[in-house]
Amino acid sequence: MAKNPKNIAHKILESHLVGGTMTPDEEIQLKVDHVLMQDALSALTMLALEAMDLDRIKIELACQYVDHNLFQADFRNPDDHVFLRSCCHRFGMHYSAPGNGISHPTHQERFGVPGKLLVGTDSHTPAAGAIGMIGIGVGSIEGASILAGEPLNVPMPEIMGIKLTGELPDWVSAKDVILEMLRRHTVKGGVGRILEYYGPGVATLSAMDRHVIANMGTELGATACVFPADERVREFLHETGREKDFNELLADEGCEYEHHDEIDLSKLEPLIAQPSSPDNVVPVREIAGEPIYQSYIGSSANPGFRDFAITAAIVKDKRAALGVSFDVNPSTRQVLTISRPPDI
């Protein structure tokens, strides 16, 4: 056992700490590795960088994703995209064009590295925790400040450990894990906390399963979520051609958490959130047969190949019911085209 056993969240935060002490609620300053941006909010970030008269960004890596305002009804969205692309060229940032994919799963595929600290000008940035990163959402102007080399200022979160045991039954998915968390803890249950998942059940979840759970830490109000960087993460990076970026990151035996919960995956059943809140969760069996008007597959909260494969199997040789909008939008170009997806 390590002399001073640490959980994963503390390891990452400590390695990026440049100011303050890691006492819950005290202000800390953290050196940021990656910045992720999405087009709906980035014009303000780029204008702030111009106002700073910055020549190049001062962090390791930043990427501008065009994944929100894709509908071209007039000149406004295309003009924004031209502006954002030109800013990326000027400041030294990657530009992900329309059609490459949603920011969070695409960043995980192309740039995610265990142990890194990422901030994003998008609420679902905690998704980065799927492969052992810490991802924290920030505002557009704060994002510009960080791109200019300033640290992230944040109250030190408390760490909540969620022990996972067992294995998901048939027809139960990773979405049911996070819906169970919402059922138990509500949309305020993660406020001021980093949610760290551990235990033998974690090994049964693919990197993209973990992405679903970490992504929706946002719905719990969490500062961030994190999973270990283990063999399943190594497999994911291997399948995406980036195994060299893998480094194992595990919690020390005997580490402690300020808060704790436990979920036996084998006892979960299909769950669903009813209007009008993500924590209004009930078993699917309780509302089976209720009419729906839209089914949407392919958000950053259900980005894995499994989600598309299961849906395809359900509707094979069938047609959507009259009056139901059935929308399928592959979350990344890799999910759309790869012959052997990295999450199954």
Residues 153-201: tens digit of each pLDDT: 999 999 999 999 999 999 999 999 999 999 999 999 999 999 999 999 9
Q: What is the mean pLDDT of residues 131-157?
A: 97
How much of the chain, in percent, has pLDDT values that exceed 70?
Answer: 98
Q: What's the pLDDT at 324? A: 93
Q: Name the average pLDDT for the chain.
A: 93
Q: What's the pLDDT at 299? A: 83
Name the residue among 101, 299, 100 with its Cα closest to residue 216.
299
Q: What's the pLDDT at 342? A: 52
In which residue are the tokens 């592959």 written? 330
Q: Where are the domains of the chain?
A: 8-267, 287-337
Of 15-24, 98-107, 298-307, the range with the lowest mean pLDDT is 298-307
* Alpha-carbon gap, residue 278 to 259, rounded angstroms: 22
Q: What's the pLDDT at 174? A: 95
In which residue are the tokens 């669903």 written? 272
The 10s digit of each residue's pLDDT in 21-55 is 999 999 999 999 999 999 999 999 999 999 999 99
Q: What's the pLDDT at 43? A: 93
Q: pTM to 2 decimals? A: 0.94
CATH 3.30.499.10 fits 8-267, yes or no: yes
pLDDT category at 95 given cuts 50, 70, 90 is very high
Q: What's the pLDDT at 328? A: 86
pLDDT category at 242 given cuts 50, 70, 90 is very high
Is the pLDDT at 340 greater than 60, yes or no? no
